[in-house]
Amino acid sequence: MMRWVLMILGCMASDAWSANQVVWYPKARTFDLRVKDVPLEVFLGMVKAETGWEVKVEPGLQQIVSGKFRNKPAADAIRLMLGRVRFAFLPRLEGGTRLLVYAGNTRSATQSVAAVEQAAADNENPDEALIHLPVKIHYLKSRYVSINADTKLTNLRPLFAGANEIWGQGKVRFVPGRPEQLLSADTVAEKEFADLFKPSVPSAYVRLHQSRILHRMIPDFPDRGKVFRIIVLYTMPDAFGAVYMPKKGVVLMPQVKFAGLIDKGGVWKDGSPVFFAQSNILAHELGHALGLPHVATQGNLMIDGRLREGSGVGPGTKLSEKQIETARAQGKTGGPRVPGINPKTGD
């Protein structure tokens, strides 16, 4: 067994740290990091939870890691934290990144690392302008497979990492909470929604009635307008990467963007294996929750999808000064924009 104590001295504060934090920016592929006296496997678990990477370590490796820095490229950040312990980044056949940590060779990294959730709030906030917005996560449960969300199918944290990277320009950070199960508010509406997948149902009927049925299924939360919420369901017959429901004050996100029917018996396969496309879509819908409407500007986060040019998936990433001002004003209320509730006037 090996045990080394590693310290990144140049950037560390002398006072006690309030919480260990690993913040990943997937578009820039950089880390902000602040950990103190954390066992290796716990640190790697925090990295896994934040990035969504597959992480494997050589059994028996032990060390305590500490470090504090901002905006370090991924390889530099891991190298600083691991010191003499070796590591490798490898692509996965199914997509994404595999991080292997080992002393001998890559074949020694056989032990899968479990994700370790970290503290939600950054109490040592050097930037008082940064607005932290807690987000409640709900998985919609149902006896209908088209609705029933699979908690093992999704990894929300990397999507939030990407969304927060975009919203960093507005100094707004969304902090996801621990997911909870949610039952439909209307069992009759559940059946109506499941029936939309039948081959005999015209697509025009789906487009006309899907929204109405979903509004009946989603409950009216007593604290709507005071709490940001994301509700995850399995799929929708009329494809959306996600949608903000202003009257409910929730972002509704399908795990599979579209389910295409393949036979008359209603057996269907996934039309897209990508979980609601990418983090830009999450950032876009959170923009609606912050009171931002669609715009026609190419490259803007809030561009209407029907106007978007180019072959890239999802909206752009830019925000205007006016958009940032509007979003921050809504964020300071602590909740999403719900007409008639938050704000109560000026809707």
Digit-coded pLDDT (tens) for 127-186: 568 899 999 999 999 999 889 998 877 778 888 888 999 999 999 999 888 899 999 999
DSSP letters, 57-94, are E-TTB--EEEEEEEEEEHHHHHHHHHTTSEEEEEE-TT
Q: Token pair of 181, please?
A: 């199960």
Alpha carbons 324 and 290: distance in angstroms, whole number? 10
- Tokens 């959170």 belong to 286
Alpha carbons 340 and 347: distance in angstroms, whole number? 7
pLDDT at 26: 83
Distances in Å between the Cα of 136 and the Cα atoms of 72, 174, 231 are 30, 10, 9
What does residue 35 show for φ and ψ, rounded to 5 degrees?
A: -135, 150
Residue type, 67: G
Q: Which segments of the chain have a pLDDT < 50?
A: 1-17, 121-126, 260-277, 347
What does residue 137 show for φ and ψ, rounded to 5 degrees?
A: -110, 130
pLDDT at 130: 87
Alpha carbons 346 and 136: distance in angstroms, whole number? 26
Cβ 65 vs Cβ 110: under 8 Å: no
Domains annotated on the chain, with CATH: 5-112 (3.55.50.30), 131-331 (3.40.390)
